[in-house]
Amino acid sequence: MLSLFKDKIVRRVLILGILLRVLVMPFLFHPDIKTYSFQTSFLGGGVFNIYSYLEANKKNLPLREDFVYQPLTYLTLGVWQIATKPLLGNGFNTWLWDASQKSVDSAGVFRYLFILKSPYLIFDVGIAFVLSAFLKDIKKKRAIFSLWMLNPITIIIIYAFSNVDVIPLFISLCAIHLAKNKKFSSAAILLGVASGFKVFPLLMLPILALSSKDVKEAVKIFLLGVGTFFITLIPFWSKSLVSSAVVSGLTTRIFLTKIDLGFGVSIVVPVVILFLVYLLAISKKYKIQSLMLVVFMMLFSFIHYHIQWIIWMLPFGLLVFIQEKGARLALLILSVFLFALPFLYDDRSMSVSLFSMISYYFTLVPIPFSIVQKFYDTYSLMSVFQSAIVALSVFTSWKILNYQK
Amino acid sequence: MENIKLSKVVKYSRVISIALVVFVVFALPAILSFGIKFIPYSYQTPLSNTEDIFEGKSVRQYFYAKENKLTAIGMSLKNPNLVNKKDIILNLYKGESLIATSTINGQVIPDGDLVKFVFNPIENSKENYYSFTLSAPQVDKEHALSVYYTNHPDDVVGDLYVDGMQTKIPLSIITYYKPQSRLSLVAGLYSGGMNKFFADKEFSSIYLMILSVLLGFLVLNRRKS
C-alpha cells in the first residue's frame, strides 16, 4: 500500500493535498470542535466515564451538551489532548471553559484549531492510501488518490467542519478492504471498533455479514461486529451513555422519515431501504463497496442529513466513480447537490460563522437561508434540492446495480 | 456525455480544490464583509434575571453611544414557545425628544434570541447620552416577553427604570454602529485576523515554516519529474 508513495505523481498530489489542508485547518471554525474538545479534556483530569460525569455535573459547566460520540472517540481525542498539552499552551483550558463570545479574542485560537485538527490529517491521508489499495491499475490508483486528496468536498467537510467521523471512516474502509480479500472475521471486528467511535459503521455490518459464504458464517460475522462494538461500550455502560450516544437524537434522526398507516403504526422509510439493500447483498452479485454507496445514497435521500455525514459515502462514491463509467455524471451532480443543500439550512454555524475565529463580526453576516428567503421560500428550494437528491440517488443506484449484474 | 473521462475529472478536481481553498481562506472573508450592515461596540455582557414587558409595564434604559452612526440596539429576549405574537416597541430618546422608533413582532423572536432593534443611523452619536423605552402595549401579562438584566455591566449602559422606579442593575444590551466605510471595515477585519495570528509568535512562525517546507517540497518534486 505504501509503495505507492514511491510514485512521483502520487507524492506531488500528497504534498499539495496536505498543503491545502494545512491552509484551512487553523482558520475555519465549527463550534462542534470546541464542544467535543471541552468534553474530551476531562480525560486529562482523570474522568473516565464522561457520560455519567456530564450528567452529574452539567449544571456547573459552561457547555452543557451531551457527549454524543461513542467512548473510543472520547479516549482517542482525550489522549491526543494529553499528548499535545505542552504544544497547546497554558491558555488552552481557559479558552475551552470560556463559553462567551469573547473566547474568539484568544490569541491562541489558530494554534488550538490547528493542533486539535491535526490527528484527522493522519486518518484522512490513510484513507487515500487504503482507497488506492482497492484498485490494481496504477493509473486508477493515482486517480483515486488524487480524487480523495484534491477533493474540495473532503477538505471542507473534514477541516472546516472539524469532522471526527474521518477516524471511524478510515477503520471502516480498512474493514471493507479486508472483506474484499475474504477476511470477513477481521473485517467484522474492525467495523465493531469503528462503531466504537461513532455508530454509522454498524449500518455496513449486515452487508458484510450477508456477503459471506453461508448463514452460519453470516451470523458469526454479525455477532463478531456487534460483540466488538458492545465490548467498547461495556466500561462506559450507563443510562447516560445510552441516552446521549447510543440512541441520541443524532443517531435516531436517521429513522425519522415515516409513512403513517394510522393506529400508531408507520412505515419507517430508511428501514425499508436498509432491508432492500441487505437483501441485495444476499445475492452476492454486487461489490460490497457499491452496496455501501447505495445504502448511504438512499438513506441521505430520505433524511435531514448533517453535512458531516456526507463523508461516510465519499470513499465508496469515488471507488464506484472510478470503476463504473456509466454512473460518473450522475455521481458528480449528486455530490454537488448533497454538498450544497446543508449550506441552506437555517444554521449560522454551517456558513458565515465558520469565519468567526478571524472576527466575531462574521456572525453578523446574513446566512444563505435568509438571503434566499428574500427572493424565494428557502424551504421550497431545499425541498427541490432534496427531491433532486432522491432522483439522482435512485438513478445512480439503478445504474450501478444494473451494470454489475 | 455520460462517459466522462477520468483524467479530466482528476485535472478539474485539482484546479477546483486549489481555487476553492485559496478563495475560502483569503477572498471569501472580504466578500462576506459586504453583508455586515453594522458592527457592535462590545460583546454582550452575561445574562442574569429577567423583567417582563407587557401592557402597562415598560422599561427605560439609559446608555452612552461610543461611536458615531448609532444604528441598532440588541438585547436577548425571552419568548418561550413563541408565546408572544404581538409587537414590541423600542423608542429611542435624546433627552426627552423621541428620535427613532423600531418595532419587532413577537412571532419572529425565538426564545432567548439576541434581537436587534434597527433604526436610521444617527450621524454624530459618539459620546452622547441616550435612553430607550421598551414597551408592548398590546400584550397581556400571560403573554409577556422578558428582557434580561446583567450583573456585569460594561461602560455602555447607564441607569435603568422599570415603571419609573430605578433598579440596581441594568439590562444586558449591545449597541451597534454603521461602519465608517466599507474599505475600512474590510481592512479592519483582515488586520484584526493577522494581528491575532501573529500575536502567537511561536505558532505563526512554525505554521509559516510548515507551509514553506510543503511548498518547497512541491517545487522540488515538480523539477525532478
Q: Which residue of A has its CA nearest to B195?
A: A107
Half-sphere exposure (Cβ direction) of B173: Cα atoms closer than 13 Å: 27
d(CA A329, CA A314): 15
The backbone torsions φ and ψ at residue A264, rounded to the nearest 5 degrees and listed phi first, read: 80, 0
Average of per-residue pLDDT values in chain A: 90
pLDDT higher than threshold 80 for residue A26: yes
Residue A2 pLDDT exceeds 70: no
The CA angle A43-A47-A52, to the nearest 5 degrees, is 125
DSSP-assigned states of every residue in A191-244: HHHHHTT-SGGGGGHHHHHHTSSSHHHHHHHHHHHHHHHHHHHGGG-SHHHIII
Segment A267-272 mean pLDDT: 90
Q: Choose from A218-227, B48-57, B79-88 the range with maximum mean pLDDT.
A: A218-227
Q: What's the pLDDT tens digit per position in A69-122?
A: 999 999 999 999 999 999 998 899 999 998 877 788 888 999 999 999 999 999
State the pLDDT at residue A355. Answer: 92
Residue B63: what are its φ and ψ, rounded to 5°? -160, 165
- At residue A65, the pLDDT reads 83
Contact B39 A364 (CB under 8 A): yes
The pLDDT, as a whole number, for residue B211 is 95
**Residue partners of A126: CB distance under 8 A and separation at least 6:** A170
Mean pLDDT of A35-56: 91
Phi, then psi, of B117 in degrees rounded to 5: -90, 110
> What pLDDT shows up at residue A307?
93
**B108 in contact with chain A, both atoms CB, cutoff 8 A:** no
Residue in this structure with the C-alpha cell 477572498, named with its chain if needed: B27
Q: Collect all residues with Cβ–Cβ distance below 8 Å to A375 and sequence separation of at least 6.
A: none
Tell me if B4 and A329 make a contact (CB, 8 A cut-off).
yes
**B residues 52-91 near A, CB within 8 Å?**
none
pLDDT tier for residue B182 given thresholds of 50, 70 and 90? confident
The more confident residue out of B111 and A218 is A218
Is B23 within 8 Å of chain A by CB?
no
Q: What is the pLDDT of residue A262?
A: 87
- Sequence-ordered list of residues with C-beta below 8 angstroms from that of A329, at least 6 positions apart, any chain: B1, B2, B4
Positive or negative, the CA dihedral A238, A241, A246, A247 is positive
**In this predicted structure, what is the pLDDT of residue A229?**
95
- Dig out the grid coordinates for A312 from the structure: 461516510
Sign (positive or negative) of CA dihedral A137, A142, A145, A147: negative
The yes-or-no verdict on residue B190 having pLDDT over 80 is: yes
Please give the average per-residue pLDDT across A44-48, as a whole number: 90
Span B64-96, pLDDT tens digits: 998 999 999 999 998 887 778 888 999 999 988
Average pLDDT estimate for A221-232: 95
**pLDDT score, position B156:** 79
* Grid cell for residue A324: 463504473
Which residues of B are less than 8 Å from A24 in CB distance?
Answer: 21, 24-25
Among B residues 173-192, those touching chain A with beta carbons less than 8 Å apart: 185, 189, 192
Supply the pLDDT for residue A249.
64
DSSP string, B129-162: EEEEEEE-TT--GGG-EEEEB-SS--SSEEEEEE
C-alpha B183, offset from chain centre: 19
Q: Is the pLDDT of residue B1 over 60?
A: no
Banded pLDDT at A132 (limits 50, 70, 90): very high
A152 at interface of B, judged by CB pairs closer than 8 A:
yes
CA distance A115 to A178: 31
In Å, what is the CA distance from A361 to each residue of A2, B29, B39, B165? Answer: 45, 10, 7, 36
Q: Is B165 on the interface with A (CB under 8 A)?
A: no
Considering only CB atoms, A12 lies closest to which of B46, B211, B218, namely B218
pLDDT tens column, A308-346: 999 999 999 999 999 888 888 999 999 999 999 999 998
Q: Which residue is closest to A357 within chain B, CA to CA? A: B193
The reported pLDDT for the residue numbered B154 is 80
Q: What is the dihedral of CA A178, A180, A182, A184, to 10 degrees?
A: 50
> Which of A174, A211, A207 shows the shortest CA–CA distance to A190?
A174
Higher pLDDT, A107 or A193: A193
Predicted confidence (pLDDT) at residue B225 exceeds the cutoff of 60: no
Q: Cβ B6–A107 below 8 Å, yes or no?
A: no
What is the number of other CB atoms lying within 10 angstroms of the CB of residue A117?
A: 24
Sign of the Cα torsion B148, B151, B157, B161 reads positive
Q: How confident is the model at residue A141 (pLDDT cuts 50, 70, 90)?
A: very high
Q: Are B58 and B164 in contact (CB under 8 A)?
A: no
